[in-house]
Structure 1
């Protein structure tokens, strides 16, 4: 589906092993802030953010919920990030280079990089963080990105970390920018991270109150702390968009995600709109090991049964880019070519399904419910589908 836009880092949701993903569009997540005179971030201070409460546990390695990853991301950092132009920029790593045969990459860590508790970021921390992703007992959504690509991770000489690959992969460093790849101290109990949230990000998570919000302060140990102008961030949880809108209008929060409902309710000139690059994929993820999605024709039929332009107009207020079932942001430097854009075609659906009816349930989070409902309605409007929704 769509990919909303980046805030401080890329958040691309990865599918689990043995799944296929149907990317319907690239959504540009725009935000709105009050005019400069009322925004607390104009000259430092504490920024007020509104967010939906995360669904499930806040685990840096296994969380796939956007709100949970956002909470982790403010207090954490990875080795590299991808810029809005698709280039790689250093974070906890300062360089990365392949071996002569392309079967390994050596990543050099930033000298002096520290976690929020003042301890140095070491190769052992990187090894531990990636072992949690690619290990045999991994439950991380990020594991699928490295399956068949990354064989092992080991400390090299000095401040180096060596990533050994299963096969040559020229774009390997881009995989290091994905979700769930933040570097944590070795020995971190990931499932209990929220109780002792040590990270190497721009902010320190000082207080988390379930159902209420999160308090952050600037991290003095952050490698680029001089460029962080805010003294802190207060995140408040809201149950729905309307609650966030009221909080934005009253000045309780400084920012809100843009949507048709939000823009229509705000007076022109009372806010500043901005975009910061693509942030995530929205789409359907299929379990290809079980019926009905072990049949490629069924997957193709779903792809041809959706009116993606209508989804973008209704669910994103046209603030999105059309997807075509490949997990690549529109601003990536390398793009697939020669692909036919899929769109609603009932005749193709009928031909692919051959007269049978396909039944399945879409499982989603509350925050994605409106979009999921529209997808359900579109599929059920095409002969051959019986789709239910589980929120």
Structure 2
């Protein structure tokens, strides 16, 4: 069986493992021949995920966007791949080792890896890629404040943090290496990478056409071609799957799952995920500055009934900003639905009922959820204006804080709370208009210790502050549903909604 350690992702969410920072790690088993998919070989695969691919630049403002990350896994390579909480396997990195205090991380690159144009992947490419991330000041850069990187030689990369960073592997698992030419204008319209596929054509927000990379270090992908399509309307995407226009999709609404399950030509599977439906409230918006107001709005929504109605297959009421599979999860006292108490709290806080709360979201499958929340808030006299935005506009406005409430599904890259809480909730991040110096200190301490029990205790303290200050509403833990047609072989669902396709094949259907 080919050495694809990322395959354990489909079961990694079941348990929390120890954070491995004390010893060097390696993944140097020899790769076996490509195309081991139970006999099927080749074929053309068409995929339609729930989020369109608007941008192929894994270092820029859209670096953490699900569409960009999905494409990057096909085109580029990571240093390491997360396989569970505190568990990692090497991709470009063959070995890695932290210093005693986890402030310096040294990586040795796998020998013989080339970009698709035949040029070698070197430590200089890694350094250039990381420096580009930092210069761009996009979402990914928020993980690496104060970091520097150096290449002592062409196979060694050294990352240095101003403070100990035990969560570094989880953070760096979102990082992709590109050639030095990536800094050139227009590079990402037809990029060169070291991943399993190469770009044939790209129409942002519509279609990404890929072909196997014959020089891929882990063996050429089995497929003849891979196409990502953007089908934003859920009904159209489900129809495309059932008619065979699309072979694989995921992120389906629960009301579609039963219908798909009854189709003998389709396999449906749900997997636990690190995802949490998250409704941030912009604390820099005058009407939402008071935690009492934010908590009252949370209390006014009957999330338990909404989940039971809309997400009976994939939703569970949340009791934390991060989900149970994530290192750092700490359950909190649920916010109970009580519209009368919510109205009284708003009155006591002097809430202006003439305020119109701008609520942005970008995924069509959230529409029913949004309508239900808007209806509940209207019952206590609060007006919410839903704003469904194209993904690129959504991301731009998200970073610019051009919203009052924001809806998205947030995960924790590397199954580590540092990549969620530590990246998004600090004063320096300024992602939510919220600043709490006590929280900053706790999050800094949590990221600086390699003691797992201490990290869990610190994240529990941080989560309690975030929960009680109602920085956002956290209504639901998410299972990730996937569906694929008969004839698709070797496909394995992953918890984070960013599947790999290099070991997939399509037989006659």
Aligned to 1:75: 75
Aligned to 2:199: 205
Aligned to 2:161: 165
Match of 2:147, SS? Answer: strand
Q: 1:233 aligns with which of 214, 218, 226?
A: 226
Q: 1:223 aligns with which of 199, 212, 217?
A: 217
Q: Hey, what's the Cα distance between the residues in 1 that align with 2:365 and 2:316?
A: 17
Q: 1:380 aligns with which of 366, 377, 381?
A: 377
Q: Hey, what's the Cα distance between the residues in 1 that align with 2:375 and 2:82?
A: 34
* 1:1-391 to 2 correspondences below 5 Å: 42-51=40-49, 54=52, 56-61=54-59, 62-63=61-62, 64-84=64-84, 87-135=87-135, 138-147=136-145, 150-178=146-174, 181-189=175-183, 192-210=186-204, 212-225=206-219, 228-257=221-250, 258-266=252-260, 267-275=262-270, 278=273, 280-326=275-321, 328-332=322-326, 334-337=327-330, 339-346=332-339, 349-350=342-343, 353=346, 354-355=348-349, 356-357=351-352, 359-367=356-364, 369-370=366-367, 373-374=370-371, 376-377=373-374, 380-381=377-378, 383=380, 385-391=382-388
Shift of 1:122: 1.7
Q: Hey, what's the Cα distance between the residues in 2 that align with 1:52 and 1:276?
A: 16
Q: Hey, what's the Cα distance between the residues in 2 that align with 1:84 and 1:141?
A: 22
* C-alpha distance after superposition, 1:271-312 (max 9, x if no partner): 111345537544223444443444443444444444444444
* C-alpha distance after superposition, 1:245-280 (max 9, x if no partner): 222121121123233343344434331113455375
Match of 1:44, SS? Answer: coil
Shift of 1:388: 1.2
Specify which structure has the bigger relative contact order, considering alpha-carbon pairs within 8 angstroms and separated by 6 or more residues.
Answer: 1
Match of 2:78, SS? Answer: coil
Match of 1:155, SS? Answer: strand
Aligned Cα root-mean-square deviation (Å):
3.4
Aligned to 1:20: none
Q: Hey, what's the Cα distance between the residues in 1 that align with 2:204 and 2:256?
A: 26
Match of 1:278, SS? Answer: strand
Match of 1:163, SS? Answer: strand
Shift of 1:126: 1.7
Tell me, yes or no, if the aligned pair for 1:58 and 1:193 is still in contact at 8 Å.
Answer: no
Tell me, yes or no, if the aligned pair for 1:376 and 1:388 is still in contact at 8 Å.
Answer: no
**TM-score normalized by structure 2?**
0.60
Aligned to 1:28: none
* C-alpha distance after superposition, 1:49-94 (max 9, x if no partner): 1246737544322215433432333212211121156621211112
Tell me, yes or no, if the aligned pair for 1:364 and 1:372 is still in contact at 8 Å.
Answer: no
Q: Relative to 1, partners in 2 of residues 1:168 and 1:65: Cα closer, same or farther, differing over 3 Å?
A: closer
Q: Relative to 1, partners in 2 of residues 1:336 and 1:260: Cα closer, same or farther, differing over 3 Å?
A: closer
Shift of 1:112: 1.8
**TM-score normalized by structure 1?**
0.76
* C-alpha distance after superposition, 1:168-201 (max 9, x if no partner): 12122111123xx211112413873432221222
Q: Hey, what's the Cα distance between the residues in 2 that align with 1:374 and 1:101?
A: 49
Tell me, yes or no, if the aligned pair for 1:92 and 1:113 is still in contact at 8 Å.
Answer: yes
Q: Please, which moves more after superposition, 126-135 or 372-381?
A: 372-381
Tell me, yes or no, if the aligned pair for 1:321 and 1:330 is still in contact at 8 Å.
Answer: no
Q: Relative to 1, partners in 2 of residues 1:120 and 1:237: Cα closer, same or farther, differing over 3 Å?
A: same
Shift of 1:380: 1.7
Aligned to 1:14: none
Indicate the structure with greater helix content.
2
Structure 2 unaligned regions, length at least 5:
1-5, 11-36, 389-509
Q: Hey, what's the Cα distance between the residues in 2 that align with 1:372 and 1:260?
A: 12
Q: Relative to 1, partners in 2 of residues 1:302 and 1:86: Cα closer, same or farther, differing over 3 Å?
A: farther
Moved over 6 A (4+): 6-10
Shift of 1:233: 0.8
